[in-house]
Amino acid sequence: MQIDLDRMQRRLAALTTPALGGTPAGGMSRLALSDTDRAARDLLIAWLRELGLTTRFDDFGNIYGRRAGREPDLAPVLIGSHLDTVPGGGRFDGILGVVAALEVVSALNDAGVTTRRPIEVVDWTNEEGARFTPAMLASGGALGVFERDWVYARADRQGRTFGDELARIGYRGDESARVGPIATSFELHIEQGPVLEASGESVGVVEGVVGIRWCRVTVRGQSAHAGPTPMALRRDALVAAARMVVAVRDHARTEGRHNATVGSLVPEPGVVNVIPPVVTFSLDLRSQDGPLLDRLTGEDIPALFAAIAAEERVEYTLEVEWAVPPTPFDAANKERAEAICRERGYSARRLWAGAGHDSQYIARVAPAMMLFTPTIGGLSHCETEDAPWPDIAKATDVLLTLVAEAANR
Ligand SMILES: [Zn+2]
């Protein structure tokens, strides 16, 4: 069995043309359930049929191509990713995982290999959550995380709903088409960060997806005039908030096992000569260590903020608005992936995924794992997103072996 890198490059190029959402700057803007998404889906289905797969799509528009096994009733091995992108995104995020899944099937077909279990290629709808929030909406729907009516009612900024747009592009299928029991699942994806490139390693064996806490912090001081109020007598909510932002950054650097990010900060009333009485800011905390996340929001950060609030004579509240636990991937699949890399002489390392992926919902119902390829400059969700093809070839070769083995177990 042999990976054909030229074929992968041709397929990736065909899935990223201007008609399918390719941008003049070499990136991608293909929002879920848009006309360009429909065009990409139509192309994928044509390819799946050319490869001899049986195609279907479910009530969330997730597309499946099934390669029959010798024992057709066994649970399939699932491989795939997503074709939607963020606006001004890149050509590799998600798309590469679909191309790699197609390549696995092509390589099996070329070699005349039949497997015991079926293999299903999947394209998950709206992974990015750029048009319909939250992310991973349709894998969550198909795998029982979200109710269908709730998913269908999710609206974009123009007020168009997921359910209506799914019907409009002709991809509203039946519930009976949803993925059934899964033997095991693999997703190849770009790392979207700098770790593999920095270490010079070709393949990332993904430990799992980090846990996430989203918090909203509100700081309350006293509104006052910027002129007459002496510096020593102020209760400035923005100064206190600024100190809190720096404090969580410093704490994360010292602690060393979590990322802390303030991405939004809004002072009120936001006027040049008014000492801000109220500031709200977001706090995104991520770690592979679930108990650590609990400790951060329950003890460490409240202690830091309380000390700053006392010094600045302000009040604050911290609410956890959204929490997902860390999702470790299947241990046996990770060990086998590492062993394959050792056998072939591919440099590899384990690392945690810092961003969400559909595979984390699959991991709730079946053994799942992901492989990462390096990402040039660590840059993703931007038009210059790029990944080195020699490493992609190695990671896809590992994927092919993993799938072939799993489909014969
Ligand atoms: Zn992705």
Q: Ligand 1 centroid vs 69 CA: distance in angstroms? A: 28
Q: Ligand 1 centroid vs 87 CA: distance in angstroms? A: 13
**Percent of the residues in the chain that have a pLDDT greater than 70, as a whole number:** 100
Check: CB of residue 5 under 8 Å from CB of residue 393: yes
Tens of pLDDT, residue by residue over 258-270, are 999 999 999 999 9
Report, as an integer, the average pLDDT of 93-121. 98
Q: Ligand 1 centroid vs 243 CA: distance in angstroms? A: 34
Tens of pLDDT, residue by residue over 277-314, are 999 999 999 999 999 999 999 999 999 999 999 999 99
Residue 322: pLDDT above 90?
no
Q: Ligand 1 centroid vs 55 CA: distance in angstroms? A: 22
Q: Ligand 1 centroid vs 244 CA: distance in angstroms? A: 32
Q: Ligand 1 centroid vs 392 CA: distance in angstroms? A: 15
Q: Which residues of 163-191 are buried (b: 16+ CB within 10 A; e: fewer)?
A: bebbeebebbbeeebbbeebbbbbbbbbb
Q: Ligand 1 centroid vs 252 CA: distance in angstroms? A: 26
Q: Ligand 1 centroid vs 94 CA: distance in angstroms? A: 4
Q: Ligand 1 centroid vs 254 CA: distance in angstroms? A: 30
Q: Rounded to two decimals, what is the model's pTM? A: 0.92
Give me the phi and psi of 98, to 5 degrees please.
Answer: -70, -45
Average pLDDT of the chain, as a whole number: 97
Using DSSP bridges, classify how beta strands 203-209 and 348-353 pair: parallel, antiparallel or unpaired. Answer: parallel
Beta strands in 248-367 (DSSP E): 259-261, 265-268, 274-275, 278-287, 315-324, 327-328, 348-353
Q: Ligand 1 centroid vs 186 CA: distance in angstroms? A: 14
Residue 110: pLDDT above 90?
yes
Q: Ligand 1 centroid vs 355 CA: distance in angstroms? A: 8
Q: Ligand 1 centroid vs 369 CA: distance in angstroms? A: 14
Q: Ligand 1 centroid vs 75 CA: distance in angstroms? A: 25
Tens of pLDDT, residue by residue over 51-91, are 999 999 999 999 999 999 999 999 999 999 999 999 999 99
Residue 128 pLDDT grade (very low, low, confident, very high; cuts 50, 70, 90): very high
DSSP 191-232: --SSHHHHHT-SEEEEEEE-EEEEEEEEEE---EETTTS-GG
Give me the phi and psi of 150, to 5 degrees please.
Answer: -65, -45
Query: What is the pLDDT, as a whole number, of residue 338?
Result: 98
Give me the phi and psi of 371, to 5 degrees please.
Answer: -115, 140
Q: Ligand 1 centroid vs 348 CA: distance in angstroms? A: 21
* Cis-peptide into 134, omega within 30 deg: yes
Q: Ligand 1 centroid vs 362 CA: distance in angstroms? A: 15
Q: Ligand 1 centroid vs 95 CA: distance in angstroms? A: 8
* Encoded amino acid at 143, one letter: L
> Angle at Cα 261 formed by Cα 89 and Cα 298, nearest 5°?
135
Using DSSP bridges, classify how beta strands 278-287 and 211-220 pair: parallel, antiparallel or unpaired. Answer: antiparallel
Q: Ligand 1 centroid vs 195 CA: distance in angstroms? A: 17
CA distance 98 to 84: 11
Query: What is the pLDDT, as a whole number, of residue 252?
Result: 98
Q: Ligand 1 centroid vs 81 CA: distance in angstroms? A: 7
3-state secondary structure of 308: helix
Region label for 61, one of left (φ > 0), alpha (ψ between -120 and 50) or beta (otherwise): left
Residue 5: pLDDT above 90?
yes
Q: Ligand 1 centroid vs 133 CA: distance in angstroms? A: 15
CB atoms within 10 A of CB 115: 22
| Residues in a beta bridge with 185 | 78, 368
* Cis-peptide into 181, omega within 30 deg: no
Sign of the CA dihedral running 34, 37, 38, 39: positive
Q: Ligand 1 centroid vs 295 CA: distance in angstroms? A: 29
Q: Ligand 1 centroid vs 222 CA: distance in angstroms? A: 44
Tens of pLDDT, residue by residue over 337-374, are 999 999 999 999 999 999 999 999 999 999 999 999 99
Q: How far is CA 345 from CA 86, 339, 394, in A?
A: 35, 10, 10
Residue 15: pLDDT above 90?
yes
Nearest to 288 by CA among 336, 332, 348, 351: 351
Q: Ligand 1 centroid vs 315 CA: distance in angstroms? A: 39
